[in-house]
Structure 1
Amino acid sequence: MAEVLVYVDHVDGAVRKPTLELLALARRIGEPVALALGDKAADTAASLAEHGATRILTHEAAEYADYLVVPKVDALQAAVAAISPAAVLVPSSAEAKEVAARLALRLSSGIITDAIDLEAGDEGPVATQSVFAAAFTTKSRVSRGIPVITVKPNSAAVEAAPAAGTVQALEVSFSAQATGTKVTSRTPRESTGRPELTEAAVVVAGGRGVGGAENFAVIEALADSLGAAVGASRAAVDAGWYPHTNQVGQTGNSVSPQLYIACGISGAIQHRAGMQTSKTIVAVNKDPQAPIFDLVDYGVVGDLFDVVPQLTEHVNIRKGSMAAPDSRR
């Protein structure tokens, strides 16, 4: 069976969930071979092997942290040359998509971005995409070169499938361009304790109807009760009510959670483009004609300041009853 190269996204050796999803997709079309780069790359081995990686290529070098994306492209190109994979799978983060595009250019190959599903085909992997603001679903494949495919988070279930996970050192020679753009400083983002927006299984988002930065506490309370990430519409972000990093939409983050709760969001096409592939969509809006109601699974016509606190209360009550010991025992 042909090998499929999976680019590993990890933080200090801890493999992030989108990579584990890629391994599940890779097993559909071949034998997953993972590529882990940077500091503590070898620490990813146990998790990758548990989720189906037959081999794990590693390379640790300061260049991956000290410079922008080119060193990673060099390493991926070296891995492709070493194993001649049937496809290269990459997470659909902003940086990883740039890496994927540069790799495809070097390989003279086609690229498919933001796939939401992947299956084997007679002439190569077939990717499913949600396009034109999620108005259409398409199936496509790369017809030239080794397919390079980026996949949106939450597109596949994480599945344990223990494999050999043999760790092998990869030889990488950095190109002259690798050190062209140096990272001079980093400012850590303050942790909220909530899941990463693009990876979260549940997202609660607020829009213009929230009415102000101080009122986002209502959205945050519901999100915290559900263990969810917090999103915001462009209108809310442009008004300065919530950070741009939390924007959902065509010019912000694209999310595809199991549950998306839109509060006070009208549902402009730009916002829908970033969340319409969510598995279940719930909207709370006092305008019964709001476009958001055209795509929801469940809609509540009402003032979010009446509805959302009640929903939060009921969620917390339900969580409390589930955690309480059974008095009948």
Structure 2
Amino acid sequence: MTWLVERGIGEDRALLVENGRALAARVRWPGELRPGQTVAATLVQRSAGASRGMAMTAAGQAILVDRIPKGASEGAEVHVAVTRAAMAERGRLKRAQGRWSDGPGEAPAPDTFDTASPVRRFPAGLWEDIWSAAWDREVAFAGGALLFAVTPGMTVIDIDGDLPPRELALAAVPAVTSSLRLFELGGSIGIDFPTLQAKADRAAVDAALAATLMDWPHERTAMNGFGFVQIVARSTGPSLLHRLTHHRTAAAARMLLRRAEGLEGAGAIELTAHSAVLGALEPGWLADLAHRTGREVRLQADHALAFEASHAQIVPR
């Protein structure tokens, strides 16, 4: 197994690959607060006597801070050790979280993006398949499909198919456990299996989940009489599924740039997309694309295109 990393425009992507198959995926968007880093900020909100408050970085990033000393007052310049990145939810933003630090501290420990082997391009189709599944919020498996819903309280996975309930539940387990890693899911996750009346059938599914999640840190309930299982895993920031649910134009814009980077041949690059996707392309990204490819970049708006149908092509200069 080998972690590979693509340094893309507007995002870095990492894949754990074994024998040509992706086992896990991670995404980082530059500029986001990174769990493990310590940042300078200003304490902007703190109730008298409370150990919690809010700090603001020079870049305007709000952080909910814990363990504030009694003597600290609003307006103080502080250091905050980030424990979780900000996450968008339906109708609101969950601010980044951190704890009070007495100093700038050490640099964050190296993570996957620091230690993975850099490649210009992942093996063909691997990233595209994961991205498409996360975009559609659906993963097919033999006999059925997983349907994902990102809610403020938890990520819910519904299992749908035509197989008998026990067979369907057991057939879904490998797809469920694979998707948890490929979408980098964390937090509270609910799995709605088919209702299984027999206790032995429920125990069989619990055992299958335990076996396939043995090396994935989490806590899990046993399946109840309605087929529901809850998993809780550590969450340090938005998953790929969360990004593609709550930042669809931004995600589509980054995917469009990735497609453009992979083009071959002489000529200019034409990016064709819905105007909302084109509007999400930052000028610096377009300049980076032109620099990386050595080509002129042109934009073409097509309001009839779905966001995910954005495409790039080589056209005559």
Higher helix share: 1
TM-score bracket for the superposition, by shorter chain length: under 0.3
* TM-score normalised according to structure 2 size: 0.25
* TM-score normalised according to structure 1 size: 0.25
Higher strand share: 2
